[in-house]
Amino acid sequence: MNETEARIRQLRKELDEHNHNYYVLNAPTIDDREFDRLMAELQRLEEENPQYADPHSPTCRVGNDHNQAFTQVAHRYPMLSLGNTYTREEVAAFYERVQTSLQEPFSIVGELKYDGTSISLTYEHGRLVQAVTRGDGVRGDDVTENVKTIRSIPLVLRGDNYPDLFEIRGEILMPWTVFEQLNAEREREEEPLFANPRNAASGTLKLQNSAVVASRRLDAYLYYLLGENLPTDDHLENLRMAAGWGFRISDAMTRCRSLEGMYAFIDYWDVNRKNLPVATDGIVFKVASLRQQKFLGYTAKSPRWAIAYKFQAERAVTRLNSISYQVGRTGAVTPVANLDPVQLSGTVVKRASLHNDDIIQSLDLHIGDFVYVEKGGEIIPKITGVDTDARLLVGEKVHFITRCPECGTPLVRYEGEAAWYCPNDETCPPQIKGRIEHFISRRAMNIDGLGSETVDLFYRLGLIHDVADLYSLRESDIASLDRQGDKSARNIIEAIAASREVPFERVLFALGIRFVGETVAKKLANAFGSIDKLAAATEEELVQVDEIGVRIAGSVRAYFAHPSTAALVGRLKEAGLQMELSAERLARRTDRLQGATVVISGTFTHHSRDEYKSLIEEHGGKNTSSVSAKTTYLLAGENMGPAKLEKATKLGIKIITEDEFLQLIGQEQ
């Protein structure tokens, strides 16, 4: 073994150890900077010496930006759901059924029911070989590359006393802190928020880009071992051994030898779950003996040897101290309740969104009221009621403000809208800064080095007044500013220069036209081809575009009719931004699929699923996710979903292969 290979192996061993210490044991032995230095060294050595590549290297944790289509895989053992209970009486009935059926001593393992997305991991010879989602319980999606980015899941097992082949199941979770950061970012961008960590984890796990998955910092708790040669007959002992192999196993698991023990477990965690770093929604009770589990068997939907007890949604009572109002980039004014701090779902809650004036009025809120606050998995807690019996010495009734809290402009409420808006989009500071922050964001112009604090600084100093001003910035303007310097200034200017190559559809999204998200921007860009043609389009022409309704069309017309828009677009053109589809993209456009609706299913050889979606749109077709009577073609790849195939066959939908589709659009392979 040469010196380079030896160093690569040593770095992998060290980084695996540090990953385990940090993500599983919560006991790091080095700081983040030193960890990043070691990881960077390993990445460099692997890039320079590809002959030593290993799919289980710690560098796989960072993911890659290659699009991937998920293959459907059959579960070796079906992933069934648990029967739910909500009362102690139902728990007692479960215990009595087990007792009657077994007619011998038994114990129950109590464990927390984590509120995430289920996963099944298969290990061969101590290495992770496959990760599959629950799916329909019989087949799930192969998400191995994404799961490799989750640092609490071992790629290579520790020790040597594990079975040669086994499966371990658990829950992929997004910790509360990560979830709050993610939704705070989405809130700044005025994007729809994830309802709870479960939805966020599930959505993240199904992303096509594993580098983005890695950035979301998912976690995992494992709770069930399957295989032909497991270490013991006892479920709890098997999991304790699995902890020694490197898995994160909850230390909340307890053996209950009586119904009273099960009740005590419920009582304890009904209170203490509020302090956990991840979301839980109940408790799971399992018969401990695998032999007894096999004897008890299954119903059609769930095991007879396990049951879930669901907690009630968490609710707390606290005092309403004041209402503050936030102005977003679209001018929408959002009321926020400021509360006495109270613990709820693992975090201290000090604020709750009231969403709009209608909700305030329906609650009949008064300053000083004691209010009921629920989280129940929600990132932004909500006020669900008022304790009117405690309303003694309260302040004035809450009335929605009538003027913008930032610029003083009278607020307006548009027909059909629940929100009040500040119409002063010319000089209202939060709207101006919000539009700039949206413009520079990753999915828009992706200008690295700029963030909300930097935008605020540049705005306050008069360096920028709108997005076009970014392209007039010079290194010397930035380098002399507090906490900047030559390197930061150079990076920002280079990132701004690079944004000139961002394609037209993302530039259109970056402009921040109301109701024009990423998907709508892409459809408008493909339909009209340039900013000038889009600006000249009538409302009738706009609504002819797939999925563009009257509301979006009206917003687009209003944006281009605004006196300042033409000047702004003109300055961005002069700055060199892409204001039309490339000649290559335009040359590829046809109407071969005009009026056709296509559903894609399975995996493909010549192009990725995302590329096929783009091809459908380029040739005038519409892409949808589900088969219906309106579907024209089902584009069928390998391992396609059986349910879609069955429905398409039943409805008489034409099923075409990848090669047939390419022939259809004139791109024969």
Q: For 3-61, CATH number?
A: 1.10.287.610
Q: Would residue 286 show up in a list of annotated catalytic residues for this protein?
A: no
Residues 6+ apart with CB under 8 A from 372: 315, 316, 317, 383, 384, 385, 386, 387
Q: Residue 31: which pLDDT band, with cuts at 50, 70 and 90?
A: low
Average pLDDT over residues 70-76: 84
* pLDDT(222) > 90: yes
State residue 66's pLDDT score: 43
**Span of 231-235, 423-427, 495-499, 622-626 with lowest mean pLDDT:** 622-626
Assess whether the region 315-424 and the region 590-664 belong to the same CATH fold: no
**Strands across the sheet containing 165-173:** 127-133, 117-124, 165-173, 219-226
Q: What is the pTM of this model?
A: 0.58
Residue 191 banded pLDDT, cuts 50, 70, 90:
low
Distance in angstroms (rounded) separating the CA atoms of residues 304 and 293 = 8
Cβ-contact 503, 539 below 8 angstroms: no
Superfamily of domain 504-586: 5' to 3' exonuclease, C-terminal subdomain (1.10.150.20)
Burial 38-72 (b: 16+ CB within 10 A, else e): bbeebeebbeeeeebeeebbbbbbebeeeebbbbb
Q: Which residue has the higher pLDDT, 624 or 201?
A: 201
How confident is residue 468, by pLDDT bands cut at 50, 70 and 90?
A: very high
- 126-134 long-range contacts, Cβ below 8 Å, gap at least 24? 126/156, 126/157, 126/160, 126/162, 127/56, 127/155, 127/156, 127/157, 128/56, 128/153, 128/154, 128/155, 128/156, 130/73, 132/73, 132/75, 133/205, 133/206, 134/79
Give me the catalytic one of 113, 375, 522, 644. Answer: 113
The class of domain 74-310 in CATH terms is alpha beta
- How many residues in the chain? 669
The model's pLDDT over 10-23, given as tens digits with 9 standing for 90+, comes to: 888 888 888 777 65
Strand order in the sheet with 280-287: 84-85, 306-310, 280-287, 108-114, 254-256
Among the ranges 173-177, 478-482, 642-646, which has the highest mean pLDDT value? 173-177
Q: For the domain made up of 429-501, give the CATH fold.
A: DNA polymerase; domain 1 (1.10.150)
Residue 543 structure tokens: 């609504």
Q: Once rounded to an integer, what is the mean pLDDT over residues 218-238?
A: 95
Rounded average pLDDT over 526-530: 90
Least confident of 49-58, 593-602, 624-633: 49-58
Range among 170-179, 184-193, 623-632 with highest mean pLDDT value: 170-179
Query: What's the confidence (pLDDT) of residue 379?
Result: 55
Pick among 2.40.50.140, 3.30.70.270, 3.30.70.1170, 2.70.170.10: CATH of 315-424: 2.40.50.140
| pLDDT for the residue 65 | 41
* Residue 387 main-chain phi, psi, to 5 deg: -85, 85
Alpha helices in 379-485 (DSSP H): 429-440, 452-460, 475-479
For the chain, the domains span 3-61, 74-310, 315-424, 429-501, 504-586, 590-664
Torsion of CA 299, 304, 308, 309, to 10 degrees: 120
* Tens of pLDDT, residues 478-519: 988 877 778 889 999 999 999 999 999 999 999 999 889 888
Residue 277 has pLDDT above 90, yes or no: no
> At the top level of CATH, which class does the domain 590-664 belong to?
alpha beta
The span from the CA of 176 to the CA of 273, in Å, is 12
Is-contact 114 173, C-beta < 8 A? yes
